[in-house]
Structure 1
Amino acid sequence: MRHHRKAKGWTLEQLADQVGVCRETFGNIERGKAAPLFETDEKIAAAPGVPTPGSGERARPLVDIHGTPSRMNDDRLARAGKMLTAFPG
């Protein structure tokens, strides 16, 4: 999202206002320090000019996978990260 936002010439504040979340929250989402709530994902997708997640058969599994880490404790998240980096390519 950060690359798209900067390519459009938007500030973090402008996009956060457009989506309806505070700048700090949106910054944390961009940096991967926070996972957005499903409602926030919907607002991001509905904002004009903001790219939406993929569609087709890949979309649903990606949405499901995206939410899973936000529900993990730190230990499980670290183990899941190691498992994902072990997959080739």
Structure 2
Amino acid sequence: LDAFAGAEAPIEQRLRDAAADVVVTTIDNLDDAAIFFRSMHHLSPEKNKQVRVERRRYHERFRALIEEGQRSGVFSTATPADLVVDYH
């Protein structure tokens, strides 16, 4: 995500590329992802905390892309960035 977010491209292209990468990598790793999410409750408290921190960082980085587009007028502000990212 950081590579797409930090690229020298318009915000709409960076967001599109980042979202497409999520879809492609999810499909490419679907079996592993399914196993992970089904087994996540077995993680130690420390490992669970690490996963939550990384997921939060990812969420915040994606939200920052939406907010950048909203500030620049490229994306509508009708839906808050947090809500947009919540479904991603």
Q: Same-fold call, TM > 0.5?
A: no
Task: Output the TM-score relative to the length of structure 2.
Answer: 0.29
Larger relative contact order (Cα-Cα within 8 Å, sequence gap ≥ 6): 2
Task: Output the TM-score relative to the length of structure 1.
Answer: 0.29
Instruction: Judging by fraction of residues, say which structure has more helix.
Output: 2
